[in-house]
């Protein structure tokens, strides 16, 4: 298994390659037959197998869905059995290729999308899906770390554990492995957050002198002033957990590491829940 993450024309490109000890034709059926797709693909698919054919995606309910706010329609852009299937999934493009080898085939998935911060989640999810595909085809079961541990591994591999300096300060976008409510509880220490009072310590980095909370929405938003600007925490539903977007206006370089410590400590604590 190999994974690479690049940027092309402003979009993120994830390329995953896996060697399978199964004939290409057998793998092709698993890629295109809804009766087989249901056992490993993250959505139920109804597809018209032809160039420009339509695809409909449906998703099971529950917290294990890893697709964030999915657009449920797609179109087949390339179709060359049993070598190539390319289709859209909302704004994403997925390209599935099969190349024959002496003992089976090599499967290559190339996914092109805009949500760079979600790349660790996408890679982890597809890794587990491809494990399920291999098992469906008769391969050996792969024993891996829990999804959340796998996710954090790819965060490190892709360098998604760093904030960035922007025009007015700092921006830190981080996919987390627990839902918004669990993240909020960890940040607050289960204490109630009140506007007009100081924020809980979990929301404050070293060197930040916080003022009273100006706006608070449980498990969604917390805003407070500090000595040089404004700190804003936003949480929304993401891929496999909450998506955090943290911004701090004002001086940036000297506080970038301090905020990284806060966010990555939070991420590590969420792994133990």
Banded pLDDT at 190 (limits 50, 70, 90): confident
Section 192-206 average pLDDT: 97
- Quote the tokens at residue 194: 């009140």
User: Looking at 127, 155, 183, which one is the last position of a domain?
Assistant: 155
- Tell me the pLDDT tens digit for each residue of 15-45: 999 999 999 999 999 999 999 999 999 999 9
> Quick one: 150 and 176 in the same domain?
no
Alpha helices in 137-230 (DSSP H): 147-158, 180-188
Q: Of 124, 155, 186, which residue constitutes the final position of a domain?
A: 155
Region 120-125: mean pLDDT is 97
Q: Is the pLDDT of residue 65 over 50?
A: no
Question: What CATH number does the domain containing 206 carry?
Answer: 3.30.530.20
What per-residue confidence (pLDDT) applies to 67?
44
pLDDT (average), residues 83-96: 98
Mean pLDDT of 215-223: 98
pLDDT above 60: residue 126: yes
Domain limits at 167? 163-271
The pLDDT of residue 144: 62
State whether 124 and 225 are in the same domain.
Answer: no
Per-residue tokens: 99: 């190349």
Domain co-membership, 13 together with 100: yes
User: For residues 109 and 33, what is the distance between their CA atoms, to the nearest angstrom?
Assistant: 17
Secondary structure (H, E, C), 96-163: EEEEEECCEEEEEEEEEECCHHHHHHHHHHHHHHHHHHHHHCCCCCCCCCCHHHHHHHHHHHHCCCCC
3-state secondary structure of 217: strand
pLDDT-derived band at 63, boundaries 50, 70, 90? very low
Residue 64: what pLDDT? 42
Burial class (CB in 10 A: 0-12, 13-18, 19+), 1: exposed
Query: In 143-263, where do the E strands start and end?
Result: 164-166, 169-175, 215-217, 221-226, 229-237, 242-249
Chain center to CA of 92: 13
Contact 54, 146 (CB under 8 A): no
By residue count, the chain amounts to 273
Q: How many structural domains compose the chain?
A: 2
Q: Residues 22, 147: one domain?
A: yes
């Amino acid at each position: 298994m190999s994974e690479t993450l690049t940027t092309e024309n402003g979009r993120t490109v994830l390329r995953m390659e896996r060697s399978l000890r199964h004939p290409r034709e057998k793998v092709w059926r698993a890629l295109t037959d809804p009766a087989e797709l249901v056992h490993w693909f993250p959505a139920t698919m109804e597809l018209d197998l032809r160039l420009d054919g339509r695809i409909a995606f449906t998703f099971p309910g529950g917290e294990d869905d890893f697709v964030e706010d999915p657009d449920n329609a797609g179109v087949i852009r390339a179709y060359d059995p049993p070598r190539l299937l390319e289709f859209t999934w909302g704004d994403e493009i997925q390209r599935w290729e099969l190349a024959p080898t002496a003992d089976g085939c090599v499967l290559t998935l190339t996914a092109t999308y805009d949500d760079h911060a979600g790349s660790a989640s996408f890679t982890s999810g597809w890794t587990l899906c491809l494990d399920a595909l291999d098992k469906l085809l008769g391969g050996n079961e792969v024993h891996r770390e829990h999804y959340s541990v796998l996710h954090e591994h790819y965060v490190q591999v892709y360098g998604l554990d760093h904030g960035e300096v922007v025009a007015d300060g700092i921006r830190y976008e981080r996919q987390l492995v627990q839902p918004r409510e669990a993240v909020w509880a960890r940040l607050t220490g289960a204490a109630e957050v009140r506007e007009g009072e100081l924020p809980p310590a979990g929301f404050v980095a070293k060197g930040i002198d916080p003022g009273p909370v100006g706006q608070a929405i449980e498990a969604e938003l917390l805003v407070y002033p500090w000595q040089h600007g404004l700190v804003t925490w936003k949480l929304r539903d993401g891929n496999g957990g909450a998506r955090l977007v943290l911004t701090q206006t004002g001086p940036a370089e000297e506080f970038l590491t301090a905020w990284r410590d806060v966010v990555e400590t939070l991420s590590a604590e969420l792994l133990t829940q």
